[in-house]
Chain A
Amino acid sequence: MLMAGIFFAMLLMICINIPIAVALAMSGVLGLLFTEGPGSLVTIALDMYSGSTKFSLIAIPMFVLAGAIMNAGGITDRLINFVTAIIGFIRGGLAMVNIGVSLFFAEISGSAVADVAAMGSILIPQMKKRGYSKEFSAAVTSSSASLAIIIPPSIPMILYAASANTSVEQLFVAGLVPGLLGAAGLMLVAYLFAKRYNFPTEAAFNLGRLRETFVDALPAFTLPVIILGGIFGGYVTATEAAGLAVLAALLVSAWYGNLDVRHLRRAMLDGGIQTAVVMLLVAASVLMGGFLTRAQIPQQLAQGILDITTQQWAILLILNFFFLIIGFFLHSAAAIILVIPIVIPLITAAGIDPVHFGLVVTLNLAIGQQTPPVASVLITACSVARANIWEVSKVNIWFVGVLLAVLMLCTYVPSVPMFLVEYFYR
């Protein structure tokens, strides 16, 4: 009864737009007050401090900063030129380029909204000029940017790993194959649209042009090499790779001559604020988590669901449905921090691999970024394209269909995301 009351109070606080971090922390405070009395409120300071000092989460400010520096550092044009030289000759070439560049950007930033604002503001106007509808341009940009959150580095994955106490390096590896499969699917849908609406091709394939653009973009490729090579090769941890990524981003931007103090200051500031917003949520979750653990809520939930079914496929189906619904209303960071500590005992009890489940959750939340009312990536793409969100959603449904297909494949054929993890780590 007390738990239901606290849950209802938290929902009410979220509905009146109290920051989710504060709603979460205040619910924890209510729990403390009712179960242990006012004397226990000193715990607020201890939990809010210990929650904000989780060492593994230092990767977040570092990756955000690396991404912000690269966004300001002139890499986007070079990547677009390079990807155009590879696949621009296909019908609907600019849409293909959009999807291809998103994959590279995922390697760099880890923040889909920042990527879609930086990349979309260059590609969407070009697409509109070349005869693509603004709805299609926004849809392809939005869905490919969301897919990018399952390709390392990914802030939701770092948060999941910290919440579920699992390996972020293994999660990064698990995201690679589904990310590439999803990109191939999105390209296929874009091609079918291009055939039907006769979208243009870009310049014919030219080996000289490919070589020229590759050399120009070469310094930018140091980032994926550091992140993927360093982590997969076992040379560095995710946090260390993030630190090196910042250093590489600074050097690459300086090499391109785009590193000025104004850009760097803004990158530092964006990185600091984005980190603070996410970390306050994490700290608040420790306060609420303490209460949930004392009340044995996660264990009771796990037992309740296991009493209904012990089948892994059924549990995954229930959780997929739950996360898809949550994706309509919550940002990915908030959804992970609110829900993962509660469902992890269920996952463990059902014998589901937490790395596999982490990928499933991240894919669900990628889809959630495409479903209004809370759909920051879609809203950003619509804003760049000056398109109506509902008209864009009518086109976007095909691309979301691809993401759903990848989700189902990864959920029910675990070897698709996990075979690389097995190969590298087990």
Chain B
Amino acid sequence: METASYPRLSRINRLIGSILEWITIGLMILLTLCVTVAVIARLMGQSFSWYDEIAAIMLAWITYYGSALAALHRRHIGFDTVLLALPKKLRVGALLVGEAIILIFFFLMARAGFQVLDVLAGDTLVSLSWMPIQVTQSVIPIGAILFMICQVLSLPAYLKLTAAGISLEHAEIEEEVETELHKNRERV
């Protein structure tokens, strides 16, 4: 998302963005390795007891770290046609109410996440008994807090675009198309 008008915010966004990017990429690499190694092993007649449990945990981690990154870039699936059709003042008001609801939800999720971590103290995974479930489940409160931070960091740019009546989805498609066209020009 364009944050050029807010240089300090832009720097923080880039920092958080690149940390989340590397976490997401790392998790994708681990998941890919996990699935491909397990498939090849099974085709060769051997199966790993940890495969299902670990792969599912990695999917959950990709979901929440990737979701925070998607929130930073405002990539979550939404429907902005009605919002953009509202008069400007009402549009901005509705947008702020929406942002507050999102923050309330993730606050509740973080709180519930911490409560669950307390209850799970001492439990371990079934297939890897040295791994505490608290570690794997920590993604819920951490993911929720990261989502809130990213939502707030990307709010000024989102507010500016929406106040100007520009659809985020269309802006994102334009960006994707420009990248592909640029790639083709480079190749030619």
Interface residues, chain A, CB within 8 Å of chain B? 13-22, 25-26, 29, 41-46, 48-49, 52-55, 57-58, 61-62, 65, 113, 117-118, 120-122, 125, 235-236, 239-240, 242-244, 246-247, 265, 268-269, 271-273, 275-277, 279-281, 283, 329-331, 333-334, 373-374, 376, 379-380, 383-384
B76 / chain A contacts, CB cutoff of 8 Å: 19-22, 277, 280
Report which residue of A46, A58, A276 has the largest number of chain B beta carbons within 10 angstroms of its beta carbon. Answer: A276
Residue of B nearest to A242 (CB): B35
Contact of B81 among A62, A65, A374 (CB under 8 A): A374
Contact of B79 among A235, A242, A329 (CB under 8 A): A329
A-B interface pairs (CB < 8 A), number: 218
A276–B69 CB distance below 8 A: yes
A14–B62 CB distance below 8 A: no
How big is chain B's contact interface, by range?
35 or more
Instruction: Report the Cα distance A373→B83, complex, angstroms.
Output: 13
A19–B173 CB distance below 8 A: no
B25–A240 CB distance below 8 A: no
- Give me 7 other A-B pairs in contact (C-beta within 8 A), A61-B31, A272-B24 excluded: A49-B140, A53-B57, A53-B59, A53-B60, A268-B24, A269-B24, A276-B24
What secondary structure prevails in chain A residues at the interface with B?
A: helix
A238: min CB distance to chain B, Å: 11
Residue of A nearest to B140 (CB): A45
A26 / chain B contacts, CB cutoff of 8 Å: 101, 104-105
A17–B36 CB distance below 8 A: no
Contact of B82 among A16, A246, A330, A384 (CB under 8 A): A16
B188: min CB distance to chain A, Å: 10
B27–A380 CB distance below 8 A: no
B70–A18 CB distance below 8 A: no
Given contacts A58-B35, A121-B181, A272-B28, contact A52 B63 (CB under 8 A): yes
Given contacts A17-B80, A22-B102, A41-B112, contact A273 B24 (CB under 8 A): yes
B41: min CB distance to chain A, Å: 11
B162: min CB distance to chain A, Å: 8
Residue of B nearest to A19 (CB): B76
B82–A277 CB distance below 8 A: no
B180–A58 CB distance below 8 A: no
14 pairs of residues in contact across A and B, judged by CB atoms under 8 Å: A19-B76, A20-B77, A21-B76, A41-B112, A45-B141, A61-B59, A62-B35, A242-B35, A243-B36, A268-B29, A272-B25, A275-B63, A276-B24, A279-B59
Contact of A384 among B28, B79, B111, B181 (CB under 8 A): B181
B66–A16 CB distance below 8 A: no
The reply to whether the CB of B137 lies closer than 8 angstroms to some CB of chain A is yes
Interface segment, B4-12, B91-99, B121-129? B91-99
A42–B116 CB distance below 8 A: yes
